[in-house]
Amino acid sequence: MYCTRKICEDIYWVGSEDRRLALFENLFPIPRGVSYNAYLILDEKTALMDTVDRSVGGQLLENLAHLLHGRPLDYLVVDHMEPDHCATIGELALRYPQMQIVGNAKTIQMIRQFYDFDLEGRTHLVKEGDQLCLGAHTLQFVMAPMVHWPEVMLAYELKEKILFSADAFGTFGALNGNLFSDQVNFERDWLDDSRRYYTNIVGKYGPQVQAVLKKAAGLEINMICPLHGPIWRENLGWFLEKYDRWSRYEPEDRAVAVFYGSIYGHTENAANLLMNLLSEAGVKNIAAYDVSSTHVSHLIAEAWRCSHLVLAAPTYNMNLYPPMESFLRDMKALNLQNRTVAVIENGTWACASGKHMRGLLGEMKNMTVLENGVCLASSMKESQLDSMLQLRDALVASLNQA
């Protein structure tokens, strides 16, 4: 059965949801599922804005057949060539023989890389600023390289002032019928997953996101239609501000997040002690994560949110405890910067984890590592309380700076 939604005059959501997939990109847990959004414009010419993942391709085909009602599909606009959005291009090319595929030079190159069907005479190349008139509706193309792949482009629909934004402004989570962000409590129920999506998928490309935000600032936008998650038609400024902050690598909250690894509980005990001392000093809303049992995508999202990070980890094979090393390497790969970090290290016969954590942090941009650190030899001792208090005081002083 078709399952479509009208989002405004002549424009429909024709996507679908996946609540069966455990790992997005075979990497990121999505217990709330994910939506693959595609949009259909019915005008003198018809245009489909992107396709969907193969897992829900059948639903897209039913949706299209229902809304087109025997009309041809004139254009498929390919804003993004990652297979969660392009997997059904070949099937559509077969079903709609007059369909022209609209993309830039990189898009067409990637179609050839992924697929073997004949593109001869079926492509419509566009570049920055080009327009495609469908009748009453006209699409104008905005190149957005590396948000999140090099071929990515956005399409701005001039009549309704809709920005089809590709991966930008997307989020994990199935829609459950509430297609619009104003139909849910986004800040309470969606922001964490939205931050996790942004930081892990697009986080590395902050400068490129900044470039797109500058282009978007020159457009009057009534609605943002991303490829994942709710559509935005209210309170756009609030979400744009989040994107601006995330892509500048500025923390959202002046807050402490404690990330600890602990083999037998001794390093965790030291982390607990520090959290208690911080709380006694008036620090609120402390967050804590066991790096062994928390998926790294959540750790990354929290490192993006908080201004102050505490890293506590034991030495392992004369190096750093592997889950902490993995977290730090991910942080570096995703370009996280501008944080203040405190380090607690542990080692029973040769303590090396602190050196390795500081070394990895030193490879990142503008990470301030507090000089005061705590070095445990197996477990926290009362004789080390002073050094823990000094670390607490340094953290509090930094938190209280303007």
Q: Residue numbers of the site for ligand FEO (CB under 6 A)?
A: 80, 82, 84-85, 148, 167, 227-228
Q: How far is the CB of 86 from ligand FEO (least distance, A)?
A: 9
How many CB atoms neighbour CB 166 within 10 A? 29
For residue 78, the SS3 value is: coil
Please, which residue, 228 or 392, has the CB nearer to ligand FEO? Answer: 228
Please, which residue, 172 or 321, has the CB nearer to ligand FEO? Answer: 172
Q: How far is the CB of 243 from ligand FEO (least distance, A)?
A: 15
Please, which residue, 79 or 330, has the CB nearer to ligand FEO? Answer: 79
Beta strands 153-157 and 138-143: pairing type? Answer: antiparallel
Nearest residue (beta carbon) to ligand FEO:
82
Q: How far is the CB of 139 from ligand FEO (least distance, A)?
A: 20
What are the C-alpha distances in Å from 12 to residues 19, 43, 57, 298, 398?
Answer: 22, 12, 17, 33, 50
Q: How far is the CB of 83 from ligand FEO (least distance, A)?
A: 8
Best CA proximity match to 40, nearest among 94, 87, 16, 76: 76
For residue 94, the SS3 value is: helix
Please, which residue, 60 or 227, has the CB nearer to ligand FEO? Answer: 227
Q: How many residues does the chain have?
A: 402
Q: How far is the CB of 48 from ligand FEO (least distance, A)?
A: 16
Q: Is 135 exposed, middle or buried (0-12, 13-18, 19+ CB in 10 A)?
A: middle
Q: How far is the CB of 82 from ligand FEO (least distance, A)?
A: 4
Please, which residue, 40 or 227, has the CB nearer to ligand FEO? Answer: 227
Phi/psi class of residue 350: alpha, beta or left (left: φ > 0; alpha: ψ in -120 to 50)? beta
Separation between Cα atoms, residue 267 and residue 265, nearest integer Å: 6
Joined tokens for residue 370: 């507090």
- Backbone phi, then psi, for 97, in 5-degree steps? -65, -20
Please, which residue, 73 or 87, has the CB nearer to ligand FEO? Answer: 87
Q: Is 284 exposed, middle or buried (0-12, 13-18, 19+ CB in 10 A)?
A: exposed
Amino acid, single-letter form, for residue 123: T
Q: How far is the CB of 80 from ligand FEO (least distance, A)?
A: 6
Write out 11-36 in H/E/C secondary structure. EEECCEEECCCCEECCCEECCCCEEE
How many CB atoms neighbour CB 342 within 10 A? 24
Please, which residue, 80 or 392, has the CB nearer to ligand FEO? Answer: 80
Please, which residue, 115 or 352, has the CB nearer to ligand FEO? Answer: 115
Please, which residue, 165 or 315, has the CB nearer to ligand FEO? Answer: 165
Q: How far is the CB of 59 from ligand FEO (least distance, A)?
A: 17
- Backbone phi, then psi, for 42, in 5-degree steps? -105, 105
Q: How far is the CB of 331 from ligand FEO (least distance, A)?
A: 21
Half-sphere exposure of 198 (CA within 13 A, CB side): 28
